[in-house]
Amino acid sequence: MSTQKNTGSTGAQSNALLLLITRLHFYIGLFVGPFIFIAAFTGVLYIITPQLESALYSDALTTQSIGEYKTLTEQIAAAKSNLDEELTLFAVRPAPEQGDTTRIMFLDPTAGLSGARALFIDPVTLELKGNLAVYGTSGILPLRTTIDYLHRQLLLGEFGRYYSELAASWLWFAALGGLFLWMKGGKKNQTEFASRTLHLTKRRRHGQLGLVIFMGLLFFSATGLTWSKWAGGNIGDVRKTLGWVTPSVSLSLTAIEENSDEHADHIQHTDHLPKPTTEVPNDRLFDQILATAKSAGINAHKLEIKPPKSIDKAWYVREIDRSWPSQVDSVAIDPRSMTVTSRSDFETYPLIAKLIRWGIDAHMGILFGVVNQVILTFFGLALCLMIIWGYKMWWMRRPTAGQTVKPLLQAWNRLSGLGKIVTLLIAILLSISLPVMGVSLILFLLVDLFRWQQQSKQ
């Protein structure tokens, strides 16, 4: 008899947990689903546009000139001669190969979202080939910059960041919840809706597709959260505590450390840009700095040279080829002695720092080139399709007048005392770690409480 009671109690708790996760999964799909859909769709747009951007801006990016390159000093002078007003020079990217142009980059508050402008100079003829706003380590141009900001903040500025953080905060939970429901509730649901063939077909497709992209959903959620405002800040604090910070060079000639940022392609605002300074860098030093960096092993095709922001800072030269194999070494150079004062080599990074670097670049479709783009496009479109099927399933099962609903709080109330405590503690910890998730969870509960009260009155 006792065994039967224990078995019944265990079954009741299992059903209560199943109902709890079912309702929460439903709320995520109903209320957060549109935001996840937008994030996935705009992410796909971002991933598939590199080739389009290369074609669209080919006149600025390429040249037909063949011959010996002019010095960087001459190329910088040519760029400055084409400016309508004096702007602060903050970086130079020498032409990687024959047929490419050199980017001379300036701070420009009129450059829209990026805050930076590049003049594209033919390194052979010194002809101006283009004048465009540029952004990030990958040097994306206006088209992709707009899509990038659409993906991250819907072009709404700081407030828009909450949308993407909301999507990333719940995506991993929706994936895990969906896996749990498929494992625990699949047979029960198939029996319950066997008479509704169309609904059952969509449910199977929704679940099967979710299994195929399950690991991708966790990956996108985790890497996306690192860019978020609130959760990203917490993740950064944890990384510092555990020593998982990406190694960086010291740019100070007085031993003050400068932090690196592996999110430079996807960072918010223009915090990645140096502040305008009254110190005028000596343009004639660029060629010497480049030669010193190359002799120190900074030899990737894609390089960026940044002059110091003040006289107590070193020059900064870094590799910016984020494809496979990653070439992201960097050095700091003292312009007085032309010696390397600090360096950071990717091969010496701790494993965690390497995985973070690769994860971010894979998220952006950079790491493995076209293969990376194809895989991310598949995952993004599959997620969009899953959300559409989810809404169709909800529409077919939507409550009719007088039909009993199953509130989330009612399911939680059926848990054992220990179950209630555990779920409550998990909710509190997640809300502290992922504040946007916490606020949205409160809203879910308020909606759920209202529905429960309305049902009780009937």
Domain boundaries, the chain: 16-30+156-225+376-457, 50-153, 238-369
Confidence of residue 453 (pLDDT cuts 50, 70, 90): confident
- 349 pLDDT exceeds 90? yes
pLDDT computed for residue 268 by the predictor: 44
- In this prediction, residues 318-336 reach a mean pLDDT of 96
Residue 433: partners with Cβ closer than 8 Å, 6 or more residues away: 231, 234
The encoded tokens of residue 102 equal 């050199």
Cα three-residue angle 107-113-119, rounded to 5 degrees: 40
- Residue 273's contacts (CB-CB under 8 Å, 6 or more residues apart) are 90, 107, 115, 116
End-to-end CA distance of the chain: 38
d(CA 203, CA 356): 35
pLDDT reported for residue 16:
87
CB 66 within 8 A of CB 124: yes
Specify whether domain 50-153 bears CATH 3.10.450.
Answer: yes
Instruction: Kindly state the tokens that stand for 452.
Output: 């429960």
Are the C-beta atoms of residues 20 and 173 closer than 8 Å to each other? no
Q: Provide the 8-state DSSP code for 340.
A: E
The whole-number average pLDDT for the span 1-13 is 57
Quick one: which of 235, 109, 110, 229 has its CA closest to 159?
229
* Contacts (Cβ under 8 Å, ≥6 apart) of 101: 60, 61, 62, 63, 95, 120, 121, 122, 123, 129, 130
Residue 435 in this model has a pLDDT that exceeds 50: yes
Q: What is the pLDDT of residue 258?
A: 46
Pick from 19, 29, 391: which is nearest to 202 by CA?
Answer: 391
Percent of the chain with pLDDT over 70: 86
Q: Is the pLDDT of residue 194 over 50?
A: no
CB within 8 Å of 374: residues ≥ 6 apart: none
Quickly state the pLDDT bin for 270 (edges 50, 70, 90). Answer: very low
The helix (run of H) or strand (run of E) holding residue 449 is helix 435-457
Q: Which residue has the higher pLDDT, 266 or 133?
A: 133
How does residue 278 score in pLDDT terms, banded at 50, 70 and 90? very low
pLDDT in tens, 157-176: 999 999 999 999 999 999 99
27-81: pLDDT as tens digits: 999 999 999 999 999 999 999 999 999 999 999 999 999 999 999 999 999 999 9
Phi/psi at 119 (5° precision): -100, 125
152/166 Cα distance (integer angstroms): 11
DSSP at 160: G
- Residue with the two structure tokens 């959260």: 225
Q: What is the mean pLDDT of the chain?
A: 88
Query: Edge-to-edge strands of the sheet including 303-306?
Result: 128-133, 116-121, 102-107, 88-93, 303-306, 315-319, 330-334, 339-344
Confidence of residue 1 (pLDDT cuts 50, 70, 90): very low
- Average of per-residue pLDDT across 331-352: 96
Residues 264, 227: Cα–Cα separation, whole Å? 10
- Is-cis flag, bond preceding 308, omega within 30? no
Instruction: Enter the pTM of the model.
Output: 0.88
pLDDT of residue 264: 60
The model's pLDDT over 219-228, given as tens digits with 9 standing for 90+, comes to: 999 999 999 9
Q: Would the pLDDT of 188 be above 70?
A: no
Q: In 105-132, which positions are buried (b, 16+ CB within 10 angstroms) versus exposed (e)?
A: bbbbeebebbbbbbbbbbbbebebbbbb
At 452 the pLDDT is: 78
pLDDT class for 186, splitting at 50, 70, 90? low
pLDDT at 285 over 70: yes
Strand partners, 334: 339
The helix/strand/coil state of 406 is: coil
pLDDT class for 99, splitting at 50, 70, 90?
Answer: very high
pLDDT of 193 > 50? The answer is no
Provide mean pLDDT across the span 237-252.
91
Identify the DSSP state of 84.
S
Q: What is the CA radius of gyration of the chain?
A: 27
| CA separation for the pair 438, 428 (Å, rounded) | 8
Strands (E), 77-187: 88-93, 102-107, 116-121, 128-133
Could you tell me which of 272, 260, 258, 249 has the C-alpha nearest to residue 107?
Answer: 272
pLDDT at 113: 87
Average of pLDDT values for 205-216?
90
